[in-house]
Structure 1
Amino acid sequence: MENEIKLFEDKKVRSHYDAEKEIWYFSVIDVIAILTGSSVPKRYWSDLKKKLTKEGSEVYDKIVRLKMLADDGKNRITDTADTEALLRLIQSIPSPKAEPFKQWLAKVGYERIKEIADPEQSIDRARENWKQYGRSEKWIQQRMMGQETRNKLTDYWKESGVEEKKDFAILTNIIHKEWTGLTVKNHKEVKGLKSQNLRDHMSEAELIFTALAELSTRQIAENDKAKGVPENAKAGKKGGAIAKNARIALEDKTGKSVVTGENFLPPEKQEKID
């Protein structure tokens, strides 16, 4: 899952969900700012780290450093903690908000457990989020169909021996570059995106061709009984090529490019793009 912004009493808590480990990680600085009301939570956290180290606490050893969106609009490395480590940290921070925050943490975890048990809830939440951002029903339907196609492909990769997260990214990039002529990173740059999910800013046509490329890749991989990264990479190039040829044929007929620089960013975000 991509990084998310969650809210506790209207205050942001940058969060990341590791789907493989099924663990939420939360920005320690954001949590400290909420609990202490400090205007310099980084300094508070620096002092607390020294105190914990001096006391021989194991909490600091459980800190995970992840890239999250900073105030300057760039992804920067920051200290994060899972729910267990965060609860232990909270014990070291005197705050009247400690108990409400613990309840909030439990709720976040419970909501994710419900989504895992009933995927329909996760789908409904995604649909509502897209509606709030002004996406049309037609776009939402195409986005969700594309996600289902994507899930079937990644399921095949898992079953065929692809295990590392970086390998999923490599295979995805091969397919994407084959049909668009751009890497995922380059495509995001064309659209003026930074940390945002590329697919959430695709046009209907881009979503359709992405789905075609991934559907073709899976069916070719299944037919060839592809195993591991190298064989699935070959299937990815073949699947991407099918979508590429379809894209070129459509562009020849319409005179319009399927891949565009359009995005769904609000005006204030558009202004921040370099």
Structure 2
Amino acid sequence: MRPGSSIKLFQEKTIRSTWNEEEELWYFSLVDIVEVLTNSADPTDYLRKLKKRDPELKSYLGTNCPKVAMVTESGKMRKILAGNARHIFRLVQSIPSPKAEPLKLWLAQVGYERLQEIENPELAQERMKVLYEEKGYPKDWIDKRLRGMAIRQNLTDEWQERGISSDREFAILTAEISKATFGMTPAEYRSLKGLAKKNENLRDHMTDLELIFTMLGERVTTEISQKEQPESFPKSREVARRGGRVAGVARTETERELGHSVATPDNFLGESDSSKRRRVASGKKD
């Protein structure tokens, strides 16, 4: 998530939000959503009572919705329950309100980056390409990064087809692929690269080779899953290990030929010029 939060307006009411770089989705304050739908004087209490009346909703929000640091009315940062558009659609089902449909349209407009990626991938790719160019990334690296996003989206779509829905399950499967590919979980990889902040996207700090082997592990996992159609989470987890293992074997052979590790602590932290970015993206050392 990005540090802090931004304020968005829905029918002149404020809704706190923050952008999740990893998922490329907006996350919104659920309390603020409740307030605009109900005009409640105490939306926090309303949400609490709503979850008490609807155990299924309580379980859904508790499983899927993270607590994200956002600015309070007093100007302080506090962690509050937040959800993306999919989570909010589920919340709306439990709150009869004439504002439900306008809110859904508003969410679609505010989250156009992610939604347009589904409808028109070229628009989303152009948007992301410009963003990375402004950050100083070289064109060949950007092409790989965008291709990696498409492969990742195909994988998450396949997982959803297999009945996987919670963020926790996605994180576990992703960690299995990473562990088999690089010998590290994403958290351990972030530590290697010195990425302390949650808003620092690991893949934005990968070299060409790191991106290539990440794509290989995820693409092979997708292919195996589509072929075998695992019917449970444990089976999908084993498929993730196998897909990552294929990339891991290829990485090991590559390292043997090159004489150095593919995984590197190099990153793009604190860089204002594009020359270091080009050097890191190409895998070259000072």
User: TM-score, normalising length from structure 2?
Assistant: 0.62
In percent, how many aligned pairs have the same letter? 29
Residue identity matched to 2:18: S
Q: Equivalent of 1:60, from 44, 55, 72? A: 44
**Residue in structure 2 matched with residue 90 of structure 1 by the alignment:** none
**Residue in structure 2 matched with residue 79 of structure 1 by the alignment:** 80
> Distance in 1 between the 2:207 and 2:224 partners?
26
Count matched residues: 209
Deviations 1:74-121 (A, max 9, x none): xx85236789xxxxxxxxxxxxxxxxxxxxxx9986242475154433
Distance 1:77 1:6, change over 3 A: closer
**Residue in structure 2 matched with residue 203 of structure 1 by the alignment:** 207
Query: C-alpha displacement at 1:232, in angstroms?
Result: 0.9
Distance 1:247 1:7, change over 3 A: same
Contact 1:18 1:24 in 2 (8 A): no
Name the Cα RMSD after superposition: 3.6
**Residue in structure 2 matched with residue 262 of structure 1 by the alignment:** 266
Distance 1:244 1:65, change over 3 A: closer
Residue identity matched to 1:218: T
Query: C-alpha displacement at 1:181, in angstroms?
Result: 0.5
**Residue in structure 2 matched with residue 156 of structure 1 by the alignment:** 158
Distance 1:69 1:145, change over 3 A: farther
Distance 1:222 1:80, change over 3 A: closer
Contact 1:175 1:214 in 2 (8 A): yes
**Residue in structure 2 matched with residue 120 of structure 1 by the alignment:** 122
Unaligned runs of 5+ in 1: 29-55, 71-75, 84-105, 269-274
SS at match of 1:256: coil
Contact 2:3 2:69 in 1 (8 A): no
Unaligned runs of 5+ in 2: 8-15, 32-39, 49-64, 72-76, 85-104, 273-286
**Residue in structure 1 matched with residue 149 of structure 2 by the alignment:** 147
Residue identity matched to 1:164: S
**Residue in structure 1 matched with residue 18 of structure 2 by the alignment:** 15
Query: C-alpha displacement at 1:223, in angstroms?
Result: 2.0
Deviations 1:47-94 (A, max 9, x none): xxxxxxxxx713234598723499xxxxx85236789xxxxxxxxxxx
Query: C-alpha displacement at 1:26, in angstroms?
Result: 5.6
Deviations 1:174-195 (A, max 9, x none): 0100111111100000001021
SS at match of 1:227: coil
Residue identity matched to 2:80: D
Contact 1:174 1:233 in 2 (8 A): yes
> Distance in 2 between the 1:189 and 1:69 partners?
25
Distance 1:224 1:204, change over 3 A: same
User: TM-score, normalising length from structure 1?
Assistant: 0.65
